[in-house]
Structure 1
C-alpha cells in the first residue's frame, strides 16, 4: 500500500509500506478520507513537541472496514466508521476520573506509537470505532474528529446560560466546529473574529450572529456595542497572534470565561488587568472525552451539512501540495481532505 510520509522539514514523500497486520481486537480500515489538521502542519514545520519526521501524519479519518480480527464483536466488514484515535491508558488517576483527554500516556495516531492515517489502510482497535449511518456523506463524516473538539470546547463553557453571548476568536477549522457545536447546543448569540474574510463568510453561513475582521474593524468595540456594553460571557481563542489575549479579555464580560486552545510553547504576552479586575477565568482546553466524540457522530448522523468547511479534496499523491496550501494560503482554505485511493 502507499502512505504519505513527512520525511524532513517541509518535505513529504509517497512511500510504499506493508499492509498492517491485525491484532485480535483490531479492524483493518480502508481509508476513504483523511483530514489535514493544524497539528500535522506543526509536524511539517518540525515544530511539534512529540511528532517528529520521519512520520506518517494524520489522525482524522472516515473509512470502510476491510477486515476484522477474531475478537472483534460489534463491527463487520463493509461498515463505514470514524475513529477516535486517542487511546488513553485507562488506569491513571485522570482516566479513572473520566478525564481521558489529559491522560499523560495516551497513544495518538500520527505519533511514534501509532501510525498516521495518510495511508491507504490502517489498523485500529475496535473500541475506537463509531459507526456512520447509511446515506451519510463520507466527506461530512471525515469532520468527526475536529467536530468532537468543538463539542469539548463547549463542554468547558457548559456553565453558561444558552442565551448569553459568546465570541470565537479565530475561525479556522476549530473555530468553525466550535460555532457548529455551539449552535447545535442552542447558543443563540455567537460572534466570530478573524483576519480572513473568506472564513468569516463561512461563519455567517454556519449561523454566526455577526463577524468582525480586526484588520478592518475595531472588533473589541463592536462586540461590546452589540452586547449592550457587557461583552461576551464566554470567549473561545483558537488562534495565535500578538495582542490576541488582551483583545479576548477586553471583549469579554465581567466574570467571563476565556477558553484557550492553541497548544504552543511560545511565550504569549497580554495585559491581564481586565482578567483580574473583572474576575474573568482563563482556562485551557485539550483533546476530548468519549461523550464529545459521540456527540459529534450524532450530529453527523443527523445529516448536518459540513460541506462549507471542506475546501479541498486531494489525492494522496498531492500531500505535499496540501501542506503547502495550508501554510502559504495562496487560495481560500479551511479543511483539506486527502483521498488515499483517488
Structure 2
C-alpha cells in the first residue's frame, strides 16, 4: 500500500491509503522524492480549475526514481533519477504536428486530468520521464517544471542582450522568468514589479536590475526616467489591468507575453497595438522544454534555491496549501518531501 494526497471534491483533501499501481505497457512507475506545490494545485483544491475531475491526486511538479517499467520499456530505465513532464499529448493532431503538444486537442495534464505526483508512487508515460544527472540535487530537479514554463514563454519572445524587459509579478513563475531572462539570455536591463516587498527582494536575488512596488509607485514613471521603453514585457501576475498597461508602456516593435488563466475581461485598443506593431504571445504549460531546462540547470545557469522557501513532509500538505495561498510575503516555492 502507498499514501496519496487526494482532493475528493472541492474543499476536501485526504491522505488515502491506495494500492501501489502497476505501470501500463508504455509507462514507468516513479517513486516520488520531491513534489512542488503550485497555484493550480490550490485552484483544484478550491474547485476553480475547469479541467479537473474528482477525486484527483494532485501534483504536476515532481521528481523521483523509476522503480518499475511496463513491458514495452527497457528494464535498464529502472533506477534512473527522473523529472516528469506533465504534458501528455496525442502526437497526431494539428498542434502536435507543428511541435506544440502543450495545446494538443486531446491534452491531458498529469495532476489535473489524470492522477499526479502527490503520491508515494506514480505511473507516467515513459516518454514523459526525463533523466536528471546525479550532479543536480533532488530538490533542484523538482523545479524543472516551473522553469519549463519560463522556457516556453521566452522561446516565443526570443529575448536578446539588447532588450529592456519588464516582468509583472514576482511570484514563483515571475521569478523563474526573471532568472531565465537575465542568466540565460542576458537581457540588458530588467525591471520587476509587484505589490509585495518580500517578493521584490527575491526578484533582486533572481537578477532583476530594478524593482518597482506598484502599490506605492507607477512603473511608467520609472521608464520615463530611465529613458527607454520596455521592448519585452511578461505578464506573470495575471490581472486584467496589466495587458492594457503593457500595451501602453511597450516600445514600438515590442513583444508582450501573457501567462496565466484568468477569465476576467479586459479592454484593449486595436489602434494602440497596431500603431506600434506590437507582437502579443500567450503561453500554456511547456512545449517539450524539459531537456533545455535540465541542461540550463546542469550548467549552473539557474538558481532554484532562490525560489524555495519551504520544505515540508508530504503529510503537511494542508499546511503547504495554506502557506502558498495566504502568505505571499513569506512563501514562494514549497517542496513536499516523500519518504525514501
TM tier, shorter chain?
over 0.9
Q: Equivalent residue for 1:322?
A: 320
Q: Equivalent residue for 1:38?
A: 39
Q: Equivalent residue for 1:295?
A: 292
| 1:326 aligned counterpart, secondary structure | helix
Go from structure 1 to structure 2 and tell me whether the alpha carbon gap of 1:96 and 1:74 turns closer, same or farther (over 3 Å shift).
Answer: farther
| 2:102 aligned counterpart, secondary structure | helix
Q: Equivalent residue for 1:245?
A: 243
Deviations 1:248-285 (A, max 9, x none): 22322122111111112222345666434433233211
Distance in 1 (CA, whole Å) between partners of 2:270 and 2:224 is 18
| 2:254 aligned counterpart, secondary structure | strand
1:7 aligns with 2:8: yes
Distance in 1 (CA, whole Å) between partners of 2:106 and 2:47 is 22
How many residue pairs get aligned? The number is 337
1:180 aligns with 2:179: yes
Query: What are the residue-to-residue correspondences of 1:22-101 with 2, within 5 Å?
Result: 22-73=23-74, 75-101=76-102
Distance in 1 (CA, whole Å) between partners of 2:177 and 2:329 is 23
Deviations 1:148-182 (A, max 9, x none): 11011111111x53212111101111111111211
Distance in 1 (CA, whole Å) between partners of 2:285 and 2:240 is 25
Q: If the length of structure 2 is used for normalisation, what is the TM-score?
A: 0.93
Query: Is the CA contact (8 Å cut-off) linking 1:255 and 1:278 kept in structure 2?
Result: yes
Distance in 2 (CA, whole Å) between partners of 1:35 and 1:302 is 22
Distance in 2 (CA, whole Å) between partners of 1:326 and 1:102 is 27
1:190 aligns with 2:180: no
Q: Equivalent residue for 1:163?
A: 162
Distance in 2 (CA, whole Å) between partners of 1:119 and 1:328 is 24
Once the 2 structures are TM-superposed, how far is the Cα of residue 88 of structure 1 from its aligned partner? 1.1
Distance in 2 (CA, whole Å) between partners of 1:165 and 1:330 is 27
Distance in 2 (CA, whole Å) between partners of 1:111 and 1:218 is 37
Q: Which runs of 5+ in 2 are unaligned?
A: none
Deviations 1:164-206 (A, max 9, x none): 2111101111111111211212323221111111111111111
Query: Is the CA contact (8 Å cut-off) linking 2:199 and 2:329 kept in structure 1?
Result: no
Query: Is the CA contact (8 Å cut-off) linking 1:3 and 1:119 kept in structure 2?
Result: yes
| 1:90 aligned counterpart, secondary structure | coil
Query: Is the CA contact (8 Å cut-off) linking 2:206 and 2:303 kept in structure 1?
Result: no
| 2:161 aligned counterpart, secondary structure | coil
Distance in 2 (CA, whole Å) between partners of 1:306 and 1:225 is 33
Query: Is the CA contact (8 Å cut-off) linking 1:221 and 1:251 kept in structure 2?
Result: no
Distance in 2 (CA, whole Å) between partners of 1:297 and 1:330 is 27
Q: Which runs of 5+ in 1 are unaligned?
A: none
| 1:246 aligned counterpart, secondary structure | helix
Q: State which drifts further: 271-280 or 60-69.
A: 271-280
Distance in 1 (CA, whole Å) between partners of 2:94 and 2:270 is 33
Once the 2 structures are TM-superposed, how far is the Cα of residue 222 of structure 1 from its aligned partner? 0.5
Query: Is the CA contact (8 Å cut-off) linking 1:46 and 1:52 kept in structure 2?
Result: no
| 2:109 aligned counterpart, secondary structure | coil
| 2:62 aligned counterpart, secondary structure | strand
Q: Equivalent residue for 2:117?
A: 117
Q: If the length of structure 1 is used for normalisation, what is the TM-score?
A: 0.92
Query: Is the CA contact (8 Å cut-off) linking 1:175 and 1:238 kept in structure 2?
Result: yes
